Amino acid sequence: MRILIMEGSLLLLLTAVTTGCVNSSSVTKQPQALPVSTEQPTKATVLTSTPTPIGKTTENSTPEATIATNPTRCETSQLSVRRVSEDAGVGNVALTYAFSNNASSPCNLYGYPGLALLDAKGQPLEGVKVIRSQDTYFSSKQPRQQVTLAPGRQASFQIAYNHISSPEEHCPTSSKIEITPPNAYQHFTLTEQIKPCTGKVRVTPVQAVGTQS
C-alpha cells in the first residue's frame, strides 16, 4: 500500500511539474526592440512647382523702341512758314503757304493749320469766319493725310477767299495773320493783307509739297 501511495504521489508530482511548464509557455512575450540605426536620417526632398509666367519676355523677344524711331508731331519751334505762291481768278484768291522743318530730325504734320486774321491793333478781325475745307476754287479735294517732314522738307496748305466787293461795300482787311501748325500750341505771326469780302476764308489741310493740284 505504501508503494502504491508513493507511486501515486510521484505521479502527482510529475503532473504538477509538467503542468507548470505548459502554463509557463502562455505568458505573453514582450515585443522585441528594433535595432537602433546609426545612419543619419535622410532629409526630405521638397518638390516645388514654379508656374510658367504667361507672355514671358526674353531679351530676344523685346520689341524695338518705336517711340524713339518714329517721328513725333512737329512743334512750332522746329518749323518756319512762308508764302510760296498766289493764284487769282474770277474774284477768287488762293495763297499757298509752306511749313519747313528746320530741325535735325523728322517730324509729322497732320490735319488743318490754325488761322486767325488780325486788325492793325492785333485783335481778331471782326466779321470773318475761318472755314476748314478740303478744296478751294484752285485745288481739288485734298483729304487729311499725315505728312512726315524730313529735315529741310516742306508741307503746304492754302488760304482761299473772294475779294470782289461792290462800290458801297467795305470789305474787312487784315493787317497780320496768325498761323498755327496742326496740333501745335504756338503760332507764327506774319504781315499779310487778306480781304475776304464774303466774310469767309477757307483753309486746306497740309499736304506734302507737290501733291496739290
Spell out the domains of the chain, with CATH numbers in brackets: 68-208 (2.60.40)
**In terms of pTM, does the model score above 0.75?**
no
Q: What is the pLDDT of residue 161?
A: 95
Task: Write out the E strands in the chain.
Answer: 72-73, 79-89, 92-101, 107-110, 114-118, 129-132, 146-149, 154-162, 176-180, 188-191, 200-203, 207-208
**Residue 36, amino acid:** V
Residues 6+ apart with CB under 8 A from 98: 81, 82, 84, 154, 155, 156, 209
Render pLDDT for 97-119 as a digit per residue (tens, 0 to 9): 999 999 999 999 999 999 999 99
**Confidence class of residue 95 from pLDDT cuts 50, 70 and 90?**
very high
Predicted pLDDT of residue 69: 56
Which strand (E) or helix (H) includes residue 21?
Answer: helix 2-24
Strands 92-101 and 154-162: antiparallel
- Maximum mean pLDDT: which of 17-21, 131-135, 152-156: 152-156
